[in-house]
Amino acid sequence: MSTAHFQQLYEQADDPWQVRQRWYEQRKRSLLLASLPAPRYRHIFEPACGNGELTAALSERADRITASDVSPAAVALTRRRITTVNARQVATVEVQCQHLPGEWPSEQFDLIVISEMAYYLPPADLPLLLERCLRTLAPGGAVVLCHWRRPFADRLLDTDAIHAAFNASPALHRIVNHQEADFLLDVWSNNPHSVAQHEGISP
């Protein structure tokens, strides 16, 4: 999808997918947050941040967040949304305008959250997306993918195929797999231990 398409969407409405109002979106966001394997993260990367609703929620569990979107209007909305969070959290968030996966940042992240983004990519970009995640994932870090499963006009990649490509990587170990008719939520880590194993509950 072109930058102009998303720019137009966010210029016409500050919440084009109603991620604030819809219970579906609120519940999905809560499930994603509950699926994170650690209570807090040093540095989170959130590509395709949209209007910043998930960014704001993640900021409560991060020392630092790098968020980005292809649309300058979405970047402005995320920056505005972050100002409604407390002052300490505002200082942790940097929002950039980037065309991903090509303009992927070079830093190391211990959490990468890709939500409702990868199905817009042309098929040739899926291996690059995976490579960028693997290259910038810190030791013990986690990658989250969450995507709508049903057909829609702008889709270029199938959700199940996207998640299957990540699951096939020998460098990643799936620690969460949540499937519904509407969406798919997966979490992988480059550390094979479960949350219970990290806490010494399970051998």
**SS3 category, 25:** helix
Are 147 and 165 in contact by the 8 Å Cβ rule? The answer is no
Give me Rg for the CA atoms of the chain: 16
pLDDT digits (tens, 9 = 90+) for 77-115: 999 999 888 666 666 899 999 999 999 999 999 999 999
pLDDT at position 160 is 98
pLDDT at position 2 is 62
Count CB neighbours of 127 within 10 A: 11
pLDDT at position 85 is 83
Q: What are the sequence ranges of the domains in the chain?
A: 3-198
pTM of the shown model = 0.94
Count CB neighbours of 52 within 10 A: 29
pLDDT digits (tens, 9 = 90+) for 139-148: 999 999 999 9
pLDDT at position 89 is 63
Q: What average pLDDT does range 175-190 have in this prediction?
A: 98
Tokens for 108? 């190391």
pLDDT at position 6 is 76
pLDDT at position 3 is 76
pLDDT interval class at 1 (50, 70, 90)? low
pLDDT digits (tens, 9 = 90+) for 16-43: 778 999 999 999 999 999 999 999 999 9
- CATH superfamily, region 3-198: Vaccinia Virus protein VP39 (3.40.50.150)
Shortest CA distance to 1 belongs to which of 133, 119, 152, 129? Answer: 119
